[in-house]
Amino acid sequence: MEKDNMDLKKTEDAVAFGSSNGYYNNPLLLSSAFDFSCEVEKSSFMELLGVQDYYNNSGAVLDLPQLSKATVFPFTTVNASCDDTAKECSEVLNQKHQPATPNSSSISSASSEAVNDEHNKTVEQDDDDDDDDSEEDEGEEEQLKAKKTKQKRQREPRFAFMTKSEVDHLEDGYRWRKYGQKAVKNSPFPRSYYRCTSASCNVKKRVERSFTDPSVVVTTYEGQHIHPSPVMPRSAIAGVGSNLGSLMPGNYMSHYHQHRHHHQQLLVNTLFSLGIPYNNSNNIDNSSFSQDNGLLQDIVPSHMLKEK
DNA sequence: CGTGTTTGACCTGCGC
DNA sequence: GCGCAGGTCAAACACG
């Protein structure tokens, strides 16, 4: 498990990069959270998405038929058991998440700011192994106590992605119930808090509009769904929605694989919400998903994985 | 009536 | 200790 954490930490080094390709002129900026743990996977994944061009360690310019172009940033991977304090993590990330191209486009910096800002807030978790989720629900005092302790100890892994969209709450294949809204300091746009409506699923998400670029929506997910997406298309369900991340107990997969799975799921959900088939340029038949493992290779043709 | 949203109050953590 | 900001709760409300 510790090794997994280390791997995940490495992926946190991913930086939100600006692109010199003027992607901000494109109708859609899609920035998502992927932890490409190795170059093979990264290239394969992007190839899968129909990426025409990508750069090592930088944002990739996607050339998707339905989108014109979009940019994917690998960022905001948060491991679930970082022992460091949030402060320490934030400091590290602050240093590392400087735009690679300082003179990149305005939206790039704006996005990066948003990302960094989000990231700073995102990288806060504790590693309480002594968690016992025993909660007595007798007596209001006990409830309150439980609430307090629970709130303090539990912090699910979070990650964010940014989407250029006119609507704040993007359809991602799951049903959400809004449970709060707060004004954000230094921003005219409020932050909305949503919770997955599925029983016993504690996934939350925050949605806020970047004040530096009001056309960009920053969505932050916390936790992982323990159920299939109720409204996912069959292809996506076959590829992601019904895989281990949905069907297996949370502790079955390593954190690492859970993250990978979740990021894939996020991408697929996001692309789906935008009307983009995630396998648009590949002949991936559903049979290949029948025994997936929630891993990248489950949605990437095998020949891609062989490429080095 | 069930489901989801709104919104003010409250709690918590953090910096000073 | 105090103030602030983020996050959550829950009653009231809206809507189909």
Tens digit of each residue's pLDDT (9 = 90 or more) over A90-142: 333 333 333 323 332 222 333 333 333 333 333 333 333 333 334 333 444 44
| In chain A, % of residues over pLDDT 90 | 3
Higher pLDDT, A140 or A32: A140
Please state whether strand C lies within 7 Å of residue A183 at its CB atom. yes
pLDDT of residue A178: 92
- Greatest mean pLDDT among A38-47, A101-110, A258-267 lies in A258-267
pLDDT at A244 (0 to 100): 30
Q: Is the CB of A145 under 7 A from strand C?
A: no
- Is residue A16 pLDDT above 50, yes or no? no
Q: CA A145 → C1' B12, Å?
A: 13
Residue A297 vs residues A291, A292, A303: alpha-carbon distances, Å: 11, 8, 10
pLDDT digits (tens, 9 = 90+) for A197-238: 887 787 888 888 887 777 778 888 887 777 776 654 444 433
Please determine, for residue A180, whether its predicted confidence score (pLDDT) is greater than 50.
yes
Give A19's DSSP letter.
Answer: -
- At A155, is the pLDDT very low, low, confident or very high (cuts 50, 70, 90)? low
Domain segments of chain A: what residues? 155-222
Name the pLDDT band for A4 (thresholds 50, 70, 90). very low
Return mean pLDDT, chain A: 47
Task: Say if residue A54's pLDDT is above 50.
Answer: no
Q: CA of A182 vs C1' of C5, distance in Å?
A: 10
Say what the pLDDT of residue A191 is: 92
pLDDT exceeds cutoff 90 at A179: yes
Average pLDDT of span A18-29: 26
Lookup result for tokens 């107990």: A249
Report chain B positions within 7 A of protein CB atoms. Answer: 3-9, 11-15
Question: Domain A155-222 is in which class?
Answer: mainly beta
Q: What Å value separates CA A286 and C1' C6? A: 43
Q: Is the pTM higher than 0.85?
A: no
Q: Which residues pair with A194 in a beta bridge?
A: A178, A205
Average pLDDT over residues A189-198: 89
**According to the model, what pLDDT value does residue A269 have?**
56
Proximity of residue A206 CB to strand C below 7 A: yes
At A208 the pLDDT is 87
Q: Which residues of A188-208 are buried (b: 16+ CB within 10 A; e: fewer)?
A: ebebbbbbbebeebebbbbbb
H or E stretch covering A10: helix A2-12
On whether the CB atoms of residues A217 and A164 are closer than 8 A, the answer is yes
Task: Say what the pLDDT of residue A63 is.
Answer: 32
CB atoms near residue A276 (< 10 Å): 22
pLDDT score, position A85: 30
